[in-house]
Amino acid sequence: METETALSPVPVVAAAEQAPGAAMHALLTRLFPICRSITGQGVRQTLGILREYLLGLQVYEVPTGTPAYDWLVPPEWNIRDAYVKNQAGERVIDFQQNNLHVVSYSAPVRGWLTRAELLPHLHTLPGQPNLIPYRTSYYAETWGFCLSHQALLGLDEPGYEVCIDSTLAPGSLTYGELFLPGETTDEVLISCHICHPSLANDNLSGIAVAIFLARYLTRQPRRYGYRFVFVPGTIGSLTWLSRNADAVTRIRHGLVATLLGSAGGFTYKKSRRGEAEIDRLVARVLADRGLPHHIQEFSPYGYDERQYCSPGFNLPVGCLSRTPFGEFPEYHTSADNPEFVRPAALGGALELFQTIVETLEANRRYRNLSPFGEPQLGRRGLYKATGGGPEGAAFQLALLWVLNLADGHYDLLGMAERSGLRFAQLRQAAEALLAAGLLTDESHPLPANPAAHDLR
């Protein structure tokens, strides 16, 4: 039976007193030592801290064995300690020093093993000999340790004491959700995964940016509702989708937030639809702001956009990151630590997400109320008194583009794409024309999400 967990949040005052990048980095650093996985106390502890920042964040528990389409919520995994000791009783691999030392979801084990018996359970990175890899075994019961290859070379004794003090037992999957209602029933989904242990860029950076974006939105007027979900990868998004059929039909735009703390430029991976409004809008915002970026086509491999964009849902959900997964050497290693993440990069990512939601909110469809020739702008104070000079030429051009394309079919995003002008220029022109009584706002709620076969 599903339950909702009530926590006792403590308001965080210090976050408001820091620059956003520094405040997000402080949150990330606080969360970094926690051992998270797709279930367990680490996820609950993390969500408890996030509730200090977002008092409306709800925490849900979904019991082991609950169906989520073709999946089942797995047994809950918790770990207290783990080590490999040499014959002198010294810990040569120690979970207490770094929780990446244990393969996530390792079954309990205790006893003495020969070196030959132990070696198949040890994982290293020979090409990065000083780093500890991150490995998981969620759905096949086994156990293992991760260590630097340099440390492995020092394991030359004939036998070792091995202990993984963990449990795999009936429990629940835990996830967090925050909903900020808007003027309409249409929603924007912001999703990030919360299952990684001590990895700062992947994905504590995404969690931090999502938290501070939600804090920002609580202070803004909202046409859309905004739904933030903090879920373990794959099984978490599938579980959320299986429990929220009504909300799914209201999602008009969505982004998966991840890998936002490195020094790299931005990467936007399109939704399965490819030309959804969110796909076009993110590309336009990146171009208008002159940010180094790369646009990727959709592929069914990556983060939870795979689930939101599966054919049965076909939601307009893209993935926004900096350097993508697997394309930086620190990925899934102990080098992905708080020192790797830059506060300025977090601040820049938050600014980008804020601009995206501001643009979504401002993207309207207008109709020209004086469509037979150009209306006389001068007598309305919208045209310069003396012709022939360059003064105000950009604004004049934006006015003319809006008037020409405001036929009830183009929205401001489409006007920006057609004209090559920046969205902000066209928005300013549209607001001036609306105030002058030359436009009417014909924005309407979008239709329900198309069926899976509609790949618009």
HSE on the CB side for 159, CA within 13 Å?
6
On whether the CB atoms of residues 455 and 309 are closer than 8 A, the answer is: no
CB atoms within 10 A of CB 448: 9
Residue 336 located in a structural domain: yes
Is the preceding peptide bond at 404 cis, omega within 30 degrees of 0? no
Q: If DSSP codes are grouped into helix, strand and coil, which group holds residue 82?
A: strand
- CATH number where 92 lies: 3.50.30.90
- CATH number where 54 lies: 3.40.630.10
Q: Are residues 89 and 150 in the same domain?
A: yes
Residue 307 located in a structural domain: yes
Q: Are residues 380 and 413 in the same domain?
A: yes
For residue 18, give the amino acid letter: Q
Q: Are residues 87 and 140 in the same domain?
A: yes
CA dist 440 and 273 (Å) reads 30
Q: Are residues 122 and 205 in the same domain?
A: no
Domain termination residue (choose one: 141, 169, 197):
169
Q: Are residues 253 and 310 in the same domain?
A: yes
Residue 48 located in a structural domain: yes
Q: Are residues 37 and 180 in the same domain?
A: yes
Q: What DSSP character marks residue 333? A: B
Beta bridge partners of 82: 164
Pseudo-torsion of CA 413, 415, 417, 421, nearest 10°? -100
- CATH number where 408 lies: 1.10.10.10
Question: By C-alpha distance, which of 439, 449, 280, 259 is closest to 340?
Answer: 259
Q: Are residues 157 and 19 in the same domain?
A: no
The predicted structure's pLDDT at residue 17:
55
Residue 32 domain boundaries = 3-73+172-361
Q: Are residues 53 and 11 in the same domain?
A: yes
- Residue 129's H or E segment, with its range, is none
The predicted structure's pLDDT at residue 311:
97
Residue 146 located in a structural domain: yes
Within 289-422, where are the H helices? 305-308, 343-362, 393-405, 412-419
Q: If DSSP codes are grouped into helix, strand and coil, which group holds residue 113?
A: strand
Q: Are residues 326 and 273 in the same domain?
A: yes
CA dist 79 and 107 (Å) reads 9
Radius of gyration for the alpha carbons in the chain, expressed in angstroms and rounded: 26
How far is CA 429 from its chain centroid? Answer: 33
Residue 118 located in a structural domain: yes
Helix axes 423-435, 412-419, angle to 10 degrees: 120
Strand residues in 286-389 grouped as ranges (E): 293-296, 317-321, 365-368
Residue 446 located in a structural domain: no
Q: Are residues 340 and 274 in the same domain?
A: yes
Residue 447 located in a structural domain: no
What pTM, to 2 d.p., does this model score?
0.92
Domain termination residue (choose one: 318, 344, 361):
361
- Residue 183's H or E segment, with its range, is none
On whether the CB atoms of residues 255 and 316 are closer than 8 A, the answer is: no
For residue 170, give the amino acid letter: P
The residues, ordered by sequence, that sit 6+ positions from 176 with a Cβ below 8 Å of its Cβ are 47, 50, 51, 57, 58, 59, 60, 194, 228, 229, 230, 231
Domain termination residue (choose one: 117, 140, 169):
169
Q: Are residues 66 and 111 in the same domain?
A: no
Structural domains in the chain (count): 3
Q: Are residues 41 and 156 in the same domain?
A: no
Per-residue pLDDT of the chain (456 residues; tens, 9 = 90+): 344 444 434 344 445 457 999 999 999 999 999 999 999 999 999 999 999 999 999 999 999 999 999 999 999 999 999 999 999 999 999 999 999 999 999 999 999 999 999 999 999 999 999 999 999 999 999 999 999 999 999 999 999 999 999 999 999 999 999 999 999 999 999 999 999 999 999 999 999 999 999 999 999 999 999 999 999 999 999 999 999 999 999 999 999 999 999 999 999 999 999 999 999 999 999 999 999 999 999 999 999 999 999 999 999 999 999 999 999 999 999 999 999 999 999 999 999 999 999 999 999 999 999 999 999 998 988 976 444 434 478 999 999 999 999 999 999 999 999 999 999 999 999 999 999 999 999 986 544 444 433 432
Residue 455 located in a structural domain: no
